[in-house]
Chains A and B, each alone.
Chain A
Amino acid sequence: MAITFLFCLFLARFFYIQVIWQDDLNARALDQWTREIPISAGRGNIYDTNGELLAGNTAAYSIFARANAVTDAEGGSLLLSEALGLSYDDILGKLTDKSHSEIVVAKRVDKSVVQRIEGAEIAGVYYARDDVRFYPYRQLACQVLGFTSYDGSGSTGLEQYYNNFLAGERGEILFETDLVGVDLDGAAAAYIPATDGMSLTLTLDYRIQSVSEQVMEAALKEYNAKAARAIVLDVTDFSVLSMVNLPSYDLNDIPRDDLSALNRLSRNALVSDVYEPGSTFKIVTAAADIEEYLQGNAAAYAPNRIFSSARTRTVDGTTIRCWSDHANGKHSNQTLAEALNNSCNPCFVDIALSLGKETFYDYLAAFQFGRATGLDFSGEAIGMLLPESTLRDCDFARIGFGQTIAVTPLQLACASAAAVNGGRYYAPRLVKEIVDSDGAVIEQTSPVLLSQPIGEEASEMLTSMLEGVVRDGSGKKAYIEGYRVAGKTGTAQKYEDGRIAQGKYVSSFVGCFPASDPRYLALVIVDEPQGAYYGSTVAAPCAKQIFEGIIDIFDLPPVEE
């Protein structure tokens, strides 16, 4: 009896371990039975909107040795040292170093070299794919694309933001070994294939990107500027068509030795840095005013209402001056359209103060200022917006014409796009499609409407006023016969340590075309131009050239005679 009972107890215990506990224990045991050589997954490609390759891979290989499996160390070393151009003694050392289960002999070896060695079939030497990232257009959109670290994972830009999609899953070659890593006779190596990464198709058009880079490069040189930037949006759905940050660098030859330079050069300042927008921001103020006027708000300035012609406004005891001296009849008896043409600061002070903080800040919120636009990109700045509750009137008055507020170029471009496209603010995006290695579409992005700060009518009125700015006002240098360009210039003084930095300006222009039904919007920023500094002289011509480039690329017909 007792014996039978004991017997059953034993069997139960063995049954528990061998059958019930089995999976868990086996999973742990598998780890100690095998040694693995990693197979890196092919990283996904990045294409522009037309399918043009922007980031791909060049096939390369890592060479491993497993000393415990090497049979002819001298012969193998001789062959490898000749093929790889490495020291014979070093390689012999690695091929005989039995303290490691496997050791890397060389990384990123060319395919042709590996093919040569592979033919020789050296026992104990293995090859695993170890691709090198390659960017066919070198510096093109370098801050947007970003680069990968030495181990192949994304460090910056889209390479980083979409790393989980691009990276894929590495595979392994598993060797069955004993406790210390000696290969077992007759045990086949198990091959677990890698899963290649997914590919991205961007909204970016490499032709527009290329044209804008050329244009901005010329401006950077002509004005000996510190930086030149541009962003081109499709205003109908907020697809980013181009993002230019100059100076740039070659993605195939990354200056990894100079980290601070690399940080500066690889930064997508359009997204990550803020600046004082100056007069380009008057678009937002004007949009708020027109919408409020249409809504029947008596505090709003009607389009035909005449502003005071005085050069100054006094708010909270501080005096705000127009950049123009208002002498000889300049800036007198202006309507809103004329105030935009002349970029007359006092008029926009009047609008802001008349609408009041509460109303005005509602518009700022609707235009997404003070928050991220939601672009699929890391490190987006939200800008600096003084809190409404503690805002002084003198500061508030200046916000009306784009001072005492800091925004990212992306925020300004998007707000302007929403102001001219009928009042729809979408989340901007860089990637339109993600496709896996088998060609199956994993994700297709579509426009996401974030807000509708103004209505269709207000948008149309504003756009036609902005068209006037290009036709008759400060934006003349962006004028293209027949294509109805609309826009607004901006010239902001730079601050350093809280004081105005003498002679340092940010010249900008934001414009779109055709005004009848806006499609393309460009924001151009030239940072610290030398010689000229007005947005009208420095930035507006750049926008014109970019627009001309777009007209060429798509062979767009003029919209009017």
Chain B
Amino acid sequence: MTKRRKSEASKGDLIFLAAILVLAAYGVICVWSASYYNAELQYGDSMYFFRKQLIGFLLGTAGMIGISFLPYEKLRRIRIPSLILSLILLALVFVPGLGKSNYGATRWIGFGSFTIQPSEIAKLGFVIFTAGYFAKDPARMRTLKGCIPVLGAGLAICVLIMLEPNMSVTMCVGAIMIGMLFLAGISKKAIAVICIPVLFAVPVLILAEPYRLQRLSAFMDPWASPKDEGYQLIQSLYGLSNGGFFGVGLFNSRQKYRFLPFAESDFILSVIAEETGFFGVTALFLLIGFIVWRGFRIAARSGNIYGFLLAGGITLAFAVQSVLNALVVSGCIPPTGLPLPLVSAGNTSLIVTMTGMGIVYGVSRHTQP
């Protein structure tokens, strides 16, 4: 922790950087494939989502490279502003005129045709805050009392996201929070104290909204309601099965012809599985797994608690989202709206995730080899 650090940046983990770029670029192609039919019908422009994703990719790449030049230690200073910004953006969703609703939930704020999803930013904001908070006084990690500000910040973000409502992102933030506390090394007792109320909260939250119960039962037996609640899951499974071992070939998905809802965003993994088959999915998972492994390795090698928590937290967020998305697409957990990071269409998610990955890369750059 008191290790000597070089003041100027090294090349860092270029392989990690390359893996991120490959995954995001692959995502752009997949978005194109998954969306062109719908884009043509909806917008009269088959490249609509492709173009948007490409812009996001370019901006994300710029953000990723740009932030990696910044010594990551500087982010410690903006831990409070980043939390406040996150909370403000989340709150803005509820301001009439600014908030944009879709599918019965208000999850976006928009200025004209430009929309952003604050919950995506909040995830990164929360990681920056937590890492900075614990790094300031590592002793905080050992007491439950010391963890309270982190818990409070996490809870505040969760409540705001829950009100949108967006259950899956709430769960995702909760998982990141617990994961970060775990990374920080708090006691097992403290983890138990935190986890038990969360476990109790889940059934209550499910019962609070009837649609969640319906989705849950549809998940148990999707063919009981193939036209309603079960539809999405069934369509996702059809996509997977149609892919088989080797897939039907890039751009040849059958399910994207309006059968599979959110084919270019939350369910893009289903289209990928259909087009590239089980082997394609395996390769994709290997790439994602590789990124996660490299991310944690960067964290472990950062040589200081702040770099460890920052890189670890961001990698964790990426891993948690990837896992949850794959669980949804393969019908292991009830369908919820959660993108596959770096791949799904959605610019806020793409830019923020890439920027986050830029921070991780930055940690590797500013680490003594």
Chain A interface residues (CB < 8 Å from chain B):
3, 6-7, 10-11, 13-15, 17-19, 21-22, 24-26, 28-29, 32-33, 176-180, 184
Q: Give the nearest-CB partner of A8 in chain B.
A: B285
Q: Do B242 and A19 touch (CB < 8 A)?
A: no
Measured between beta carbons, the chain A residues less than 8 angstroms from B282 are: 11, 14
In B221-276, the 8 Å CB interface with A consists of 234, 237-238, 240-245, 254-255, 257-259, 273
B273 contacts A22, C-beta separation under 8 Å: no
A29 to B240, alpha carbons, bound, how many Å? 11
* Residues of the A chain whose Cβ atoms lie less than 8 Å from the Cβ of B331: 17
Cβ-defined contact, A25 with B241, below 8 A: yes
> Hey, which chain B residues are within 8 Å of A179, CB to CB?
257-259
B241: nearest chain-A partner, CB-CB: A25
Asked if residues A14 and B259 are in contact (CB atoms below 8 Å), the reply is: no
Which of chain B's residues have a CB closer than 8 A to the CB of A7?
285, 289
**Residue pair B330, A13 in contact (C-beta under 8 Å):** yes
In angstroms, Cα B258 to Cα A17, docked, is 21
30 A-B contacts, Cβ less than 8 Å apart?
A: A3-B289, A3-B292, A3-B293, A3-B319, A10-B285, A10-B326, A11-B281, A11-B285, A13-B330, A14-B273, A14-B281, A14-B326, A14-B330, A17-B237, A18-B241, A18-B243, A18-B278, A21-B237, A22-B241, A24-B241, A25-B241, A26-B242, A28-B238, A29-B254, A33-B257, A33-B259, A177-B257, A178-B257, A179-B258, A180-B258
In whole angstroms, how far apart are the Cα atoms of A165 and B277 in the complex? Answer: 43
Which residues of A sit under 8 angstroms from B255, Cβ to Cβ?
Answer: 29
Give, as a whole number of angstroms, the nearest-CB distance from B247 to chain A. 9
**Chain A residues, Cβ within 8 Å of B237:** 17, 21, 25
Is A26 a contact partner of B241 (Cβ separation < 8 A)? yes
Q: Does B22 contact A (CB under 8 A)?
A: no
Most buried by B among A13, A17, A19: A17
If A13-B330, A25-B238, A178-B37 touch, whether A19 touches B245 (CB-CB below 8 Å) is: yes
- Select the residue from A15, A176, A177, A178 with max chain B CB neighbours within 10 A: A178
Closest CB in chain A relative to B37 CB, distance in Å: 7
B332 close to A (CB within 8 Å): yes
Closest CB in chain A relative to B240 CB, distance in Å: 5
CB B319 to nearest CB in A, in angstroms, measures 8
Instruction: Kindly state whether residue B323 has any CB partner on chain A within 8 Å.
Output: yes
Bound-state Cα–Cα, A21 to B323, Å: 22
B242/A29 in contact, CB under 8 A: yes
Q: Smallest CB-CB separation from A20: which chain B residue?
A: B241
Contact of B273 among A18, A21, A176 (CB under 8 A): A18
Q: Considering only CB atoms, which chain B residue lies closest to A18 in the complex?
A: B278
Q: Which of A3, A18, A19, A33 makes the CB contact (< 8 A) with B254?
A: A33
> Would you call A17 and B240 a contact (CB within 8 A)?
yes
Which chain A residues lie closer than 8 Å to B281 at the CB level? 11, 14, 18
Chain B residue with the shortest CB-CB distance to A23: B241
Query: Can you add 7 more A-B contacts, CB < 8 Å, to A10-B285, A14-B281, A18-B278?
Result: A10-B323, A11-B282, A18-B245, A19-B245, A32-B238, A176-B254, A180-B258
How far, in whole Å, are A29 and B277 apart by their CA atoms in the complex? 16
CB distance from B354 to the nearest CB of A (A): 22
Smallest beta-carbon distance A507→chain B, Å: 67
User: Quick one: which of A3, A29, A32, A178 contacts B241, CB cutoff 8 A?
Assistant: A29
Q: How far is the CA of A422 from the CA of B211 in the complex (A)?
A: 82
Specify which chain A residues have a CB less than 8 angstroms from the CB of B277 in the assembled complex.
18
Q: Give the distance in Å from the alpha carbon of A6 to the alpha carbon of B237 in the complex.
A: 20
CA A18 to CA B241, docked complex, whole Å: 4
Query: Chain B's nearest CB lies how many Å from the CB of A459?
Result: 67
Instruction: Say whether B278 contacts A14, CB under 8 Å.
Output: yes
Instruction: Rank and list the top 10 A-B pairs by shortest CB-CB distance, nearest first.
Output: A25-B241, A179-B258, A178-B257, A29-B238, A18-B278, A17-B240, A22-B241, A178-B258, A13-B330, A14-B281
Are A18 and B258 CB-contacts (below 8 A) given A3-B292, A7-B289, A10-B285? no
**Once the chains bind, are A178 and B240 in contact (CB under 8 Å)?**
no
- Give the CA-CA distance A15 to B326 in the complex, in Å: 13
Question: Is B258 a contact partner of A19 (Cβ separation < 8 A)?
Answer: no
Complex CA distance for A17 and B330, rounded to whole angstroms: 8
A26 partner residues in chain B, CB cutoff 8 A: 238, 241-242
Cross-chain contact A32 with B259 (CB below 8 angstroms): yes
Residues from chain B with Cβ under 8 Å of A184 in the complex: 257
Report how far A66 CA is from B254 CA in the complex, Å. 21
Query: Is A13 a contact of B332 with CB atoms below 8 Å?
Result: yes
Measured CB to CB, the closest approach of chain A to B207, in angstroms, equals 28
Give complex CA distance A21, B281 in Å. 16
Distance between Cα atoms of A24 and B234 in the complex (Å): 12
| Known A-B contacts A10-B326, A178-B37, A184-B257; A18 and B285 likewise in contact (beta carbons under 8 Å) | no
Min CB distance A72 to B, Å, is 22
Which residue of A has the minimal Cβ distance to B330?
A13
> Which single residue of chain A is at the shortest CB-CB distance from B37?
A178
**Please, which residues of chain B bring their CB within 8 A of the CB of A178?**
37, 257-259
Bound CA–CA A11/B289 (angstroms): 12
- Given contacts A11-B285, A17-B330, is CB(A6)–CB(B323) below 8 Å? yes
Which residues on A sit within 8 Å (CB–CB) of B326?
A: 10, 14
User: Within the complex, what minimum Cβ distance (angstroms) separates A43 from chain B?
Assistant: 36
Give chain B residues whose Cβ lies under 8 Å from the Cβ of A29: 238, 241-242, 254-255
For B277, give the chain A residue with the smallest CB separation. A18
Do the beta carbons of B37 and A17 come within 8 Å of each other?
no
| Least distance between B332 CB and chain A CB atoms (Å) | 6
Within the complex, the shortest CB–CB distance from B182 to chain A, in Å, comes to: 11
Q: Which residues of A contact B254 (CB under 8 A)?
A: 29, 33, 176
Q: A residues within 8 A CB of B330?
A: 10, 13-14, 17
CA distance A228 to B246 in the complex (A): 73
CB distance from B157 to the nearest CB of A (A): 25
Determine the distance from Cα of A7 to Cα of B282 in the docked complex, in whole angstroms.
Answer: 9
Chain B, range 192-244, C-beta contacts under 8 Å to A = 234, 237-238, 240-244
**Residue of A7, A15, A184 most packed against chain B (CB within 10 A):** A7
B241 touches A17 (CB 8 A): yes
Q: How far is the CB of B165 from chain A (nearest CB, A)?
A: 27
